[in-house]
């Protein structure tokens, strides 16, 4: 695990050496870059990026920023939170390692998401020094997130594969659409948490790589260039498009994640701080895991 | 020049001899840092007999400029005469204009905090920026403002074969057509970049 982590981080930083040398964008490659623009045989990524960025990305982010919380408010008012007893026994769920890794990722996200939004709506903040500073913070938070993303990916992966419970969970949307307390089919992690896990780790890695390539501009992974046959500028266009599209999904589920842990399941946030979940919460929301723990005599 | 003049560049690739005067003159006139070349001479189809030609590219001051459409902080402004300029004090150096640009014109000196991309730099058609005309602040950030002084942009003034022209697009088109007619031979295709620069009028 350490080896991969090292390789990953090293690959991020080694590429920074590349930008001191000849730029592929303004020197030799400039010809290829501009020749391809809008040509029939090219992918027309330049016009595609221009069209998406000019007409859709900011609007889509605004829709998520306003729409998702609005749905939550409605849900909170109509169905309300799930309250579980906090006086019962506790189930030790998250090790200290789990919690530290999660907290570093959480702090990184709390910086990445608002600063990302500020860049997207940069014009409303008047641009200039303030937005530039937010951009730099966005880059710094990327480093702390990059350090924990692989440990996070590895520490939870064995619990995150698809299970029959997940299909059942999805059919009833985790029981969140009803007020009654009923055991919900789920293991240690439910289908919603699993989706967030995969998006935050794999999607997060996409965000790191696309972000890094926009940061360095000359970010050159020879393998990607030769695999895709894209010129550097087209790779940057792909990076910018992916950063926005995957970013939208990440932001939407990030909001869901916060709503669930802070508002819906009362007190759920304590589990990632102390490591202990309420037994009653486990019994209802992770019923399969509860049965298994019972059977193994771990309660 | 008429009231509705729209300023354009045109590089006649039948005349360009790849001497690089334009790009050197530009870099010197505006005291550009190394690593930034607002204007660049490129040679296409190198070594292919009968097809090789050179041309000079910089920001083409596009009609419906794509860079202006994608900028998240709206720092571009397009002058009455069509010159596309931007405000470096507002620019955050995100790179979007580069991804949108058909000519690879926007460039980023690494002078931000932690060596991040600094404010974008590109050809101003020697028309400076939003600062007070001919002020030292304007000169520091954007280079000379020759347009305000009634002078031709440095690159075109320097061009020894008059391949590189700049001016009202109507007049440029007239000169271009005259040149094609007087050459009177072969099929003359539109100069490189013409369609992107002029198409969306
Ligand atoms: C996993 C999370 C993320 C990571 C690791 C990440 C990383 C990065 C990096 C390294 C950059 C380049 C910064 C620079 O050029 O100085 C960047 C740019 C950007 N990111 Fe993110 N980002 C993430 C999430 C987001 C989210 C959620 C949003 C939107 C809300 C967002 C919006 C942007 C925007 C608008 C840019 C501007 C383009 C640029 O500066 O090159 N990012 N990101
Ligand atoms: S050439 Fe590029 S930078 Fe210049 S106006 Fe066109 S899109 Fe903008
Ligand atoms: S680099 Fe500057 S000018 Fe270009 S799109 Fe970003 S903020 Fe606008």
Task: Give the pLDDT confidence of B57-102 residue by residue, as tens digits.
Answer: 899 999 889 999 999 999 999 999 999 999 999 999 999 999 999 8
CA distance between the termini of chain B: 19
pLDDT at position A3, please?
Answer: 56
Question: Which tokens hold the place of A196?
Answer: 């967030």
The Cα-based distances of A17 to A6, A149, B40, B115, B152 in angstroms read 17, 23, 25, 12, 40
Q: Which of A66-70, A228-232, A283-287 has the lowest mean pLDDT?
A: A228-232
Question: Which tokens hold the place of A176?
Answer: 């969140």
Structural domain boundaries, residue B93: 7-198
* Spatial separation of the C-alpha atoms in residues B38 and A215, rounded to whole Å: 21
* Spatial separation of the C-alpha atoms in residues B41 and B46, rounded to whole Å: 13
Q: What region, left, alpha or beta, does residue B148 occupy, with left being phi > 0 and alpha being psi -120 to 50 degrees? A: alpha
User: Please, how many CA atoms are within 13 Å of residue A26, restricted to the half-sphere of its CB?
Assistant: 24
The residue-averaged pLDDT of A122-139 equals 96
Name the helix (H) or strand (E) containing B143: none
* Spatial separation of the C-alpha atoms in residues B169 and B85, rounded to whole Å: 18
B89 domain residue, yes or no: yes
Taking the CA atoms of A116, A117, A121 and A125 in sequence, report the sign of the dihedral they define.
negative
The residue-averaged pLDDT of B182-197 equals 60
Q: Indicate the pLDDT class of residue A21, thresholds 50, 70 and 90.
A: very low
* Spatial separation of the C-alpha atoms in residues A74 and A59, rounded to whole Å: 22
B84 in contact with ligand 2, CB cutoff 6 A = yes
Alpha helices (runs of H) in chain B, residue ranges in sequence order: 21-29, 66-70, 96-100, 136-142, 154-158, 169-183, 194-198
Separation of CA A231 from chain center: 28
Per-residue model confidence as pLDDT tens digits over A159-194 = 999 999 999 999 999 999 988 888 999 999 999 999
**Residue B57 forms contact with A (CB below 8 Å):** yes
* Spatial separation of the C-alpha atoms in residues A115 and B52, rounded to whole Å: 48
Q: What domains appear along chain A, each with residue ranges and CATH number? A: 41-83+92-164+191-266 (1.20.950.20)
B2 domain residue, yes or no: no
CB contact under 8 A, B57 and A37: no
B73 in contact with ligand 3, CB cutoff 6 A = yes
Query: Over 80: is that where the pLDDT of B15 sits?
Result: yes
B122 domain residue, yes or no: yes
In terms of C-beta density within 10 A (0-12 exposed, 13-18 middle, 19 or more buried), how is residue A293 classed? middle
Number of domains in chain B: 1
- Domain containing B149 — which CATH number? 3.30.70.20
Query: Over 60: is that where the pLDDT of A217 sits?
Result: yes
Question: Which tokens hold the place of A197?
Answer: 């896990």
Q: What is the DSSP letter of A44?
A: -
B1 domain residue, yes or no: no
CB contact under 8 A, A237 and B99: yes
Q: Kindly report the protein residue whose alpha carbon is nearest to atom 6 of ligand 2.
A: B62
Phi, psi of B10 (to 5 degrees): -150, 125
- Residue to mutate, B60, B69, B86, B199, ligand 2, most ligand atoms under 8 Å from C-beta: B60
pLDDT at position B197, please?
Answer: 58
B95 in contact with ligand 1, CB cutoff 6 A = yes
Looking at chain B, the number of H-run helices and the number of E-run strands are 7, 6
Question: Which tokens hold the place of B102?
Answer: 């058909």
Burial letters A114-147, b for 16+ CB under 10 A, else e: ebbbbbbbbeebebbeebbebbbebbbbbebbbb
Structure-model confidence comparison of residues A31 and B170, the more confident one: B170
Per-residue model confidence as pLDDT tens digits over B135-153 = 999 999 999 999 999 999 9
């Amino acid at each position: 695990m350490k080896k991969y982590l090292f390789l990953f981080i090293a690959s991020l930083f080694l590429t920074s050496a590349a930008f001191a040398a000849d730029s592929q964008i303004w020197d030799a490659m400039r010809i290829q870059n501009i020749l391809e623009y809008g040509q029939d045989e090219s992918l027309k990524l330049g016009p595609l990026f221009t069209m998406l960025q000019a007409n859709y990305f900011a609007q889509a982010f605004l829709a998520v920023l306003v729409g998702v919380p609005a749905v939550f408010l409605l849900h909170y008012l109509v169905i309300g939170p799930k309250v579980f007893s906090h006086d019962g026994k506790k189930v030790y769920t998250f090790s200290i390692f789990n919690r530290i890794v999660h907290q570093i990722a959480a702090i990184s996200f709390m910086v990445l998401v608002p600063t990302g939004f500020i860049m997207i709506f940069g014009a409303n903040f008047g641009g200039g020094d303030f937005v530039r500073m937010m951009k730099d913070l966005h880059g710094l938070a990327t480093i702390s997130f990059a350090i924990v993303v692989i440990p996070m990916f590895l520490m939870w992966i064995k619990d995150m594969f698809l299970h029959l419970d997940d299909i059942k969970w999805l059919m009833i949307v985790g029981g969140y659409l009803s007020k009654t307390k009923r055991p919900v089919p789920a293991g240690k992690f439910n289908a919603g948490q699993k989706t967030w896990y995969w998006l935050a780790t794999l999607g997060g890695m996409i965000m790191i790589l696309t972000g890094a390539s926009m940061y360095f501009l000359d970010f050159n992974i020879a393998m990607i260039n030769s695999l895709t046959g894209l010129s550097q500028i087209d790779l940057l266009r792909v990076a910018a498009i992916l950063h926005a599209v995957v970013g939208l999904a990440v932001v939407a589920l990030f909001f869901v994640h916060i709503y669930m842990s802070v508002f819906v399941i009362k007190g759920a946030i304590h589990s990632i701080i102390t490591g202990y979940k309420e037994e009653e919460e486990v019994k209802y929301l992770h019923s399969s895991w509860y049965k298994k723990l019972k059977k193994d005599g771990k309660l | 020049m008429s009231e509705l003049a729209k300023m354009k560049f045109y590089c006649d690739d039948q005349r360009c001899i790849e001497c690089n005067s334009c790009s050197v003159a530009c870099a010197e006139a505006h005291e550009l840092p190394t690593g930034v070349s607002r204007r660049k001479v490129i040679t296409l189809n190198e070594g292919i007999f009968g097809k090789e030609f050179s041309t000079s590219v910089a920001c083409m001051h596009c009609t419906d400029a794509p860079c202006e459409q994608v900028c998240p902080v709206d720092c571009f402004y397009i002058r009455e005469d069509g010159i596309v300029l931007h405000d470096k004090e507002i620019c955050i150096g995100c790179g979007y204009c580069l991804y949108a640009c058909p000519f690879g014109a926007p460039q980023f000196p690494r002078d931000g905090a932690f060596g991040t991309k600094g404010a974008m730099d590109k050809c101003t058609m020697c028309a400076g920026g939003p600062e007070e005309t001919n002020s030292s602040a304007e000169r520091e950030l954007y280079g000379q403002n020759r347009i305000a002084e009634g002078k031709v942009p440095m690159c075109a003034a320097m061009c020894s074969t008059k391949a590189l022209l700049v001016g009202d697009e109507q007049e440029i088109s007239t000169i271009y057509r005259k040149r094609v007619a007087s050459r009177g031979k072969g099929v003359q295709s539109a100069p490189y970049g013409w369609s992107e620069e002029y198409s969306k009028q």
